[in-house]
Each structure stands twice: as C-alpha cells, then as structure tokens.
Amino acid sequence: MPKLIKDGAVVEDSWAGELLDLASYNEHVTAGSAPDGKLAVQLEPGESPADISGDLTKLPMVAINFPVFTDGRGFSYARELRQSGYQGEIRAVGHFMRDQLGYLARCGVNAFAFAEETDLSAAIASLSDFSDHYQADTLQPEPLFRRR
C-alpha cells in the first residue's frame, strides 16, 4: 500500500473509495448516486471548491492536484474549503514538494501524497520549520497580533 503523510505521521494510504474528477463527481451528485463516504473528488488548477456540487459534509476527502509545484492555486482552494467549514481530509497530490508542506498545512491540507519519491519520515520535519506565524490560518485562527 502506498504511504503518505497524514495528520503529521507517515501512514499507509487507507483510502478505499473512488477518486473522481470534478465533472464526474458532480454528475454523480446530480444523478443522486453519490454514495456517502465512498466517493471523493479531485480538484485541478482552475477548479474552485465552489464548483463542487452537493453537500460538502458528505465528502470524506477532497484531493487537490499540483501538476507543477509552482502553481499555487491549490493553496487558496484548501483555504477556501476550510473557510467554508469543510472538516474532511484535504489531500495534496501530485508534484508539490517537501519545502511547501508548512504552507500547505497552514492552508488546511492534512494529507500529502507525493508523486515523486520522497523520504516521508524526513519530510515531516518541514511541517515544523517555524514555531510561530504572523497570519491567521487554518491551524491557528488567531493572527499573532491578537496573541501578542
């Protein structure tokens, strides 16, 4: 089973459902055939969380694809998902890199499935490069200036 980083630990990928692209997922929802907990959706750059049909609370996972690590749209998608109250798994997939983990986590991504071979146990360290941050984010809803 492939491994990934999830909630700060290296784990086996236990996802057993189906991961659909946005159009297919939305079709299922429209047809009323989206089974609870078995279907997830993968967003590509240019596909905003606002485009996902149906009840987000029934979605166990939203994957955000990074075809290239320099395309930062996914950071905003994760942030918007959490802002809208989404509590399920947000999984970064594709060609993001270890040195982006801290930023991704702060935007609300809690699972990281690297397309490239990565030393996951070493990569976890990049989640805690910094002990504090100026801005409000998903992990720390109060900006530093309200905590100083």
Partner 1 sequence: MYVYDEIDQRIVNERVEQYRDQTRRYLAGEISDAQFLPIRLQNGLYVQRLAPMLRIAIPYGMLSSRQLRKLAQISRDFDTGFGHISTRQNIQLNWPLLEDVPDILAELASVQMHAIQTSGNCIRNTTTDQFAGVAVDEREDPRPWCEIIRQWSTFHPEFAFLPRKFKIAVCASETDRAAIHAHDIGLELVPNAAGELGFRVLAGGGLGRTPVIGSEICAWLEKKHLLTYLESILRVYNQLGRRDNKYKARIKILVKAMGADAFRERVEQEWAAIKDGPATLTDAEIERARSYFTEPEYKDLPALAESAELQRALAENNAFARWYQRNTFEHRVSGYRIVTLSLKATGYAPGDVSDTQMEAIADLADHYAFGEVRTTHEQNMVLADVEGNELLGLWQQLTALGLATPNIGYLTDLICCPGGDYCSLANAKSIPVAEAIQERFEDLDYLYDLGPIDLNISGCMNACGHHHIGHIGILGVDKKGQEFYQVSLGGHQGKDASVGKILGPSFEQDAMPEVIDKILATYLDLRTEEEHFLDTYRRVGMDPFKERVYAEAH
CB neighbour class for 119 (10 Å; exposed up to 12, middle 13-18, buried from 19): exposed
Which stretches within the chain are classed as H helix?
22-30, 73-83, 101-107, 120-123
Binding mask 32-71 for partner 1 (x = CB under 8 A): -------------x--x--------------------xxx
End-to-end CA distance of the chain: 45
CA-only gyration radius of the chain, Å: 15
- Residue 131 interacts with partner 1 (CB under 8 A): yes or no: yes
Q: Say whether residue 2 binds partner 1 (CB under 8 A).
A: no
CB 47 within 8 A of CB 20: no
Q: Does the protein bind partner 1 through residue 133 (CB under 8 A)?
A: yes
Taking CB under 8 A as the rule, which mask of x and - marks residues 83-112 in contact with partner 1? x-------------x-xx-xxx-xx-----
Residues binding partner 1 (CB under 8 A): 45, 48, 69-73, 75-77, 79-80, 83, 97, 99-100, 102-104, 106-107, 129-137, 141-146, 148
